Amino acid sequence: MMTVFVLATFLYFLGMVKYLLYLGLRNRILFILATIMIALGFLVETLALVQRSSITGHGPYMNVFEYCVFLAWVTFAAFLVAERYFKIKPLGAFMVPIGFLLMLFGLLFSPETEPSFPVKAYWLTLHRTLSFLAFGAFSLVFAAGLMYLIQERQLKLKNFGGWYRRLPSLSILDDANRVGLVFGFPIITVGAAAAIVWSAQKYGELLKLNASTASLMAAWGVYAVLAFGRVALGWRGRRAAALGVVGFCIVITSLLLHLHLR
């Protein structure tokens, strides 16, 4: 079963290399091949996840390995949808490495599960599932935000070089950033609420404060500020993009802490 995950990682790797090459060379065929590789890798990983779940009897969020490959999976899912929808050609060079690194990181850990938590915890499962889905959306917010910041710099400083040519318009990047937030923020909010309910049921307190939950709350806070700013204060452009990037960095940090603490 592991070999299937390795195969998926390899396909992702090929796709990533092609996307990075495409960014440099802008050859149409490279782009098409890259998308095919990622789609294939995604298909292979989907089958692997389904098969694994049917064997273990639980969703893929029981150990570091499962965490990482599942996070990669949602990242690629978000990427494939976003690429088709927004037609941002350099998006692959920004989002695919995130997914690939997660796969690679996951493969470093043993896939053996040791159910340290009660498997049938409805609220916890809900929290986990939603948090994963939100991660996919936020990886789009991050990638689009980063690209926005780069392109905005080029336009403000009047650098008409490679980045200016390769990256799409600010308007599309701002759109992608906004759409990612529109999906991600409600999902993570419900997910966080589920975690609180679960915590209340299990430990009798609403929140067990530790480094991991604190940083997760910080990330939620950043996205909350971003969502509020966008909706109520009419934020857009650079500020929104920068917050999206910061938020994702906090998410990654909290994730690492979370995995480390387990």
Site for another protein, rule CB under 8 A? 26, 28, 151, 155-156, 158, 160-161, 164-165, 168-172, 234-239
Dmax (CA) for the chain in angstroms is 59
CB closer to another protein, 109 vs 235: 235
Contacts of 71 (CB under 8 A, 6+ apart): 102, 132, 135, 255
Q: How far is the CB of 169 from another protein (least distance, A)?
A: 4
* Sign of CA pseudo-dihedral 78, 129, 215, 187: positive
CB closer to another protein, 23 vs 49: 23
Q: How far is the CB of 82 from another protein (least distance, A)?
A: 16
Contacts of 130 (CB under 8 A, 6+ apart): 187, 188, 190, 191, 194
Q: How far is the CB of 79 from another protein (least distance, A)?
A: 21
Provide the 3-class DSSP secondary structure of residue 14. helix
Q: Which of 31, 249, 228, 36 is nearest to 145 (CA)?
A: 249
CB closer to another protein, 222 vs 240: 240
CB closer to another protein, 239 vs 262: 239
Q: How far is the CB of 209 from another protein (least distance, A)?
A: 36
